[in-house]
């Protein structure tokens, strides 16, 4: 007997309610969506990479050349974490 049936029987006996039918979470990726992602992934990924390095460059310039204090909540932090994951 499947897990879903056990759950339904148990709840029927104990007076609980199952929300909706026990449908398995399964997703059919739309045909061609991976091809599209392959195409835009390169371009969009490059854009993210450029932005990321640009932010690093401007942060470095501000810190080293102009000797500005580093802001605590640097927006560069979120993106740079992606490129080079730090130890958690």
Partner 1 sequence: MFEYDGRILRSLSHRASDDFEFVLQKGFLTRWVANGSFVSATEIELPELSEHLGCETIVEHQRLPFISYPYEWSFGMLKAAALLHLDLQMDALEHDVAFSDASAYNIQFDGSAPLFIDLLSLRPYRNGEYWLGYGQFCEQFLNPLLLRAYLGVPHNAWFRGSLEGIPAGELGRMLPARSRLSWRVLVHVIGPARMQAAALSNQGAVAKAEKRMTSRGLSKLGYLGIMEQLRNWIAKLTPRDVGQSTWGDYSETHTYGTEEMEAKKRFVAEFIERIGAKLVGDFGCNTGAFSELACRAGAERVIGFEYDRVALEKAYQRAVAGNLKITPLYLDAANPSPSQGWRQSERLGFEQRGTFDAILALAFEHHLAIGRNIPLPDVVAWLVCQAPRGVIEFVQKDDTTVKQMLALREDIFDAYSQDVFEQALANHARIEKAQKISREGRMLYWYERE
Query: Contact residues for partner 1 (CB under 8 A)?
Result: 3, 6-7, 10-11, 14, 16-21, 23, 25, 27, 29-49, 78, 81-83, 88
CB nearer to partner 1: give 46 or 68: 46
CB 7 within 8 A of CB 22: yes
CB nearer to partner 1: give 47 or 57: 47
Nearest distance from C-beta of residue 61 to partner 1, angstroms = 23
d(CA 70, CA 59): 8
Locate 45 and state its tokens.
């990924």
CB 47 within 8 A of CB 79: no
CB nearer to partner 1: give 52 or 62: 52
């Amino acid at each position: 007997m499947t897990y879903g049936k056990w759950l339904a029987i148990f709840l029927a006996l104990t007076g609980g309610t199952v929300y909706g039918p026990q449908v398995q979470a399964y997703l059919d990726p739309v045909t061609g969506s991976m091809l599209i992602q392959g195409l835009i992934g390169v371009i969009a990924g490059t854009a993210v990479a450029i932005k990321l390095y640009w932010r690093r460059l401007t942060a470095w310039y501000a810190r080293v050349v102009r000797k500005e204090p580093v802001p605590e909540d640097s927006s560069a932090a979120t993106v740079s974490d992606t490129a080079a994951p730090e130890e958690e």
